Amino acid sequence: MGNSTSIIDRDDAAGGQAAAPSPAPTGSRQTQKEATRLRVIEAARELFDTQGYQGTTIREIARHANVSVGSVFTTFASKGEILSQVMQDRLDGLYAELDRVMPHLRGGTVDRLRTMFAIHFAFEVQHTRLFLAHIAAAYDWTLPDGAKPMGKNTRLQQIIIDTLAKGVGDGDVDEAIEPQEIVDLLMAAYAWAYRLAAWNGADAAAMTQVMDRQIGLIASGFAPR
């Protein structure tokens, strides 16, 4: 408490005028900001997963994280950006594993695509409501540029494109196809499959069966002529 005594002494000498508090060291401010960021992300993840994205407010996130509403907005520009960060943190590990595994999967392109999406369903079904919020955000026209709902994160798209490129090399994908068109169809089928979870409580196996059939239909359009 020596610093407090010295400040009081200086105040007395200056006629009682309070000295300005010393600014916190830059490192401390950065550490505190990162701690706040992590608390907000964890609180948001739990609330989005239990209450849904629309049913969760910034105020609730702040209260759950034990920070002020102002601190939340100092860290993130919007609730949409919080959701994007929550999903990015979850998906980075999944995509890193897929980047490692996909080039070594056996079978043709259809088999590799089916395996890839089966892995996604098994992963996302652990937090289905959270992923449904991620999908829904893709259609939220009010999201700021910093938000990255499903579709704006290009990692999944690139994995599909790489799989198709390998298929061209293997001879089971028509080299004349437009890869992005196939990506769009596959991602649309994948996102739409989650209606089964939202409406009927379908599990990963049920959604995978549906997706397997749709991949087969889509593959008939990219098979060599």
Q: Residue with structure tokens 């608390």? A: 39
Confidence check: pLDDT of 8 > 60: no
- Are the beta carbons of 210 and 196 closer than 8 angstroms? yes
pLDDT at 28: 72
Kindly report the CATH number that applies to the domain delimited by 25-76.
Answer: 1.10.10.60
Q: Where do you find CATH 1.10.357.10 in the chain?
A: 80-225
Question: What phi and psi values does residue 14 have, to the nearest 5 degrees?
Answer: -95, 10
pLDDT at 25: 59
Rounded to whole angstroms, the Cα distance separating 224 from 209 reads 25
- Look over the chain and give the mean of its residue pLDDT values, rounded to a whole number: 86
The beta strands (E) that lie in 70-164 are given as: none
Rounded to whole angstroms, the Cα distance separating 117 from 216 reads 13
Which residue from 92, 212, 114 is spatially nearest to 163, judged by alpha carbons? 114
Pick the more confident residue, 41 or 53.
41
Q: What does the pLDDT average to over 10-34?
A: 56
Residue 1: band (very low, low, confident or very high) from pLDDT cuts 50, 70, 90: very low
Burial zone of 112 (CB within 10 Å; 0-12 exposed, 13-18 middle, 19+ buried): buried
Q: Where do you find CATH 1.10.10.60 in the chain?
A: 25-76
Residue 26: band (very low, low, confident or very high) from pLDDT cuts 50, 70, 90: low
- Are the beta carbons of 110 and 215 closer than 8 angstroms? yes
Kindly report the CATH number that applies to the domain delimited by 80-225.
Answer: 1.10.357.10
Q: What does the pLDDT average to over 180-194?
A: 97
Q: Residue with structure tokens 């026209």? A: 141
The residue type found at 69 is: V
Determine if the pTM surpasses 0.85: no
**Tokens standing for residue 36:** 């706040």
Determine the straight-line distance between the first and last CA of the chain, rounded to whole angstroms: 82
Residue 20: band (very low, low, confident or very high) from pLDDT cuts 50, 70, 90: very low
Confidence check: pLDDT of 59 > 90: yes
Q: What does the pLDDT average to over 120-144?
A: 90
Helices (H), 52-78: 58-65, 69-75
Confidence check: pLDDT of 49 > 50: yes
Burial zone of 192 (CB within 10 Å; 0-12 exposed, 13-18 middle, 19+ buried): middle
Residue 154: band (very low, low, confident or very high) from pLDDT cuts 50, 70, 90: confident
Confidence check: pLDDT of 93 > 80: yes
pLDDT in tens, 201-220: 999 999 999 999 999 999 99
pLDDT at 46: 94
